[in-house]
Amino acid sequence: MNESSAARWRRQATPDASDPFVSVGFLIAAGATTVIGLVGYTVMLVERLASARARREELQTADRDSQRTE
């Protein structure tokens, strides 16, 4: 019996976990997602912290200036 096109598509779309290339591919994809997520979040966190601290400096300077004016 001829294989239907849907069945053929399903078979071709099914990754073969016993194939080392497929297995390594999924492992690398998961590892890369994790690294990008964690490193990206670290960079974002450090940037946000630096900008909040710069703002704090700005406000402290403005407070000191206004006290001196008074």
Partner 1 sequence: MTSSVVQGRARLIALVTATVVVSAVALAMMIFYAPTDRVQGVVQRIFYFHVPMAWVAYLAFFVVLVCSVGYLWRRDLRWDAMARASAEIGVLFTTLVLITGSLWAKPIWNTWWTWDARLTSTLVLWFIYVAYLMLRAYTPDLERAARFSAVLGIVGFIDVPIIHFSVEWWRTLHPEPVVVRPDPQAPPEMLVTLAVSLVAMTLVYATFLVLRTALERTRDENREREQRRALEEASYA
Within 13 Å of residue 36, how many CA atoms lie on the same side as its CB? 6
- Measured CA to CA, the distance from residue 34 to residue 41 in angstroms comes to 11
φ, ψ for residue 14, nearest 5 deg = -85, 115
Interface pick for partner 1 out of 15, 43, 61, 65 (rule CB under 8 A): 15
Site string for partner 1, 31-60 (x = CB under 8 A): x-xx--xx--xx--xx-xx--xx-xx--xx
Q: Which residues bind partner 1 (CB under 8 A)?
A: 14-18, 20, 22-24, 26-27, 29-31, 33-34, 37-38, 41-42, 45-46, 48-49, 52-53, 55-56, 59-60, 62-63, 66
